[in-house]
Homo-oligomer: A and B are copies of this chain.
Amino acid sequence: MSEYGPGGLFLADCPARMVVDLIADKWTVVVLAGLSEGPVRHGALIEMIGGGISRKVLTQTLRRLEAHGLVRRNAYAEAPPRVEYELTPLGATLIDPIHTLTEWARTHGEEVLDALDSAS
Contacts and interface: CB of A to CB of B under 8 A. Distances in A.
Contact of A11 (B8, B52, B69, B105): B52
A: contact size bracket: 35 or more
B93 A108 contact: yes
A112 interface: yes
Interface string A1-38: 10010011111111111111111101101100110010
**Binding site secondary structure of chain A:** helix
How many copies of this chain does one complex carry? Answer: 2
27 contacts: A1-B48, A7-B48, A7-B50, A8-B47, A9-B49, A10-B30, A11-B30, A11-B50, A15-B102, A15-B106, A15-B109, A16-B102, A18-B105, A19-B102, A19-B105, A20-B105, A22-B112, A67-B115, A68-B119, A69-B119, A90-B108, A90-B111, A94-B108, A97-B100, A97-B101, A97-B104, A100-B101
